[in-house]
Amino acid sequence: MPHDRQENSATKLVGMLIVYNEVDIIEQYLDHMATQEIPLVVLDGGSTDGTYGIIRENRTGIVSRHAQFITDRFELVLSLRCLHAMAAQENPDWMLLADADEFMETNDPKLSLREAIALEDAKGFNLIQFDNYEFWPTALDPPVRDIRERIRYYSWHDRWRFRAWKHGPGIRIHPSGGHLPIFPENMVVRLSPNRFIIRHYSIRDYEQGRRKAFVERLGRYSDFDRRIFGLRRYESYKDEKPFFVIEPRMLNRFDGKWNNERKFAGWRTETFPDLSSSEEVRRMMTELAKNYARSCVE
């Protein structure tokens, strides 16, 4: 059973980040992760907008390792395997899988991510789940640079985000597409009851959104990744502004408290697993591992 003891301040963490053409947000993201005390290994997928130059400049000093992985298609499985191997070279105690448009934080504003993860580690847990709150641009957004001040309207979307885990031999992240690490069968799952927070800014304005949906995602997914993961998020989008800039009445305005109603699904039709116990998570890990192995030989 998990047990209480004092935080281990020596707990070593590393965040893993895949980026592709995120120049409008990457500096803010790196600043945020610096305040969260999470060093990063970064894999750039061949950005053409200056993103990788900002990564290499490393103004905050938060990037401990970086590389480019340039392919004709967005190869999610290959990218995750490469990124995971890069992170393992840092010899961390915990790993965290991040995204440049996802601002991760704890449910206690007094704690950084590093401090909060170390506390969960000290209690004996080895896996942390996140609530995903998707923020959307609206016509009411003020013209300010800070993405968290500019885009204030959101909807809770899912908790299919097990993004922080205690590192160990045999763990894989690619069979789930990065949503859930797959622990080996001999490793006990101890899911923390404390869910952390993701502020997700996938769409920041109309032009960025349509470029991301139709060129950088739908236009680049590999056939292999589509077959395994579906990757249907943007298939129902039309090249029309109301698909990217949302009516405020369809969302919640962030006022310092989170509303966990899925008020707006973002034009998606797919559903996500809703897991809340270590036993459910273990069954899902086993199922995903089998599904991935089956897909690889079909």
For residue 231, the model assigns a pLDDT of 65
Asked if pLDDT for residue 5 goes beyond 70, the answer is: no
Please, which pLDDT band fits residue 4 given cuts at 50, 70 and 90?
very low
Average pLDDT score over the chain: 92
Tell how strand 196-200 and strand 130-136 pair up: parallel
Does 79 reside within a domain? yes
Residue 49 CB partners (closer than 8 Å, separation 6+)? 21, 22, 23
Computed from CA positions of residues 64, 285, 226, 236, in that sequence, does the dihedral angle turn out positive or negative? negative
Return the percentage of the chain with pLDDT > 70, whole number: 96
Cα–Cα dist 21/204, whole Å: 13
CATH number at residue 40: 3.90.550
Does 5 reside within a domain? no
Nearest alpha carbon to residue 23 among 208, 263, 225, 259: 208
Does 8 reside within a domain? no
Does 6 reside within a domain? no
Does 4 reside within a domain? no
Does 7 reside within a domain? no
Distance of CA 267 to the CA centre of its chain: 20
For residue 73, the model assigns a pLDDT of 82
Does 3 reside within a domain? no
Range of the domain at 83: 13-297
For residue 9, the model assigns a pLDDT of 53
Report the domain count for the chain. Answer: 1
Does 1 reside within a domain? no
pTM over 0.85: yes
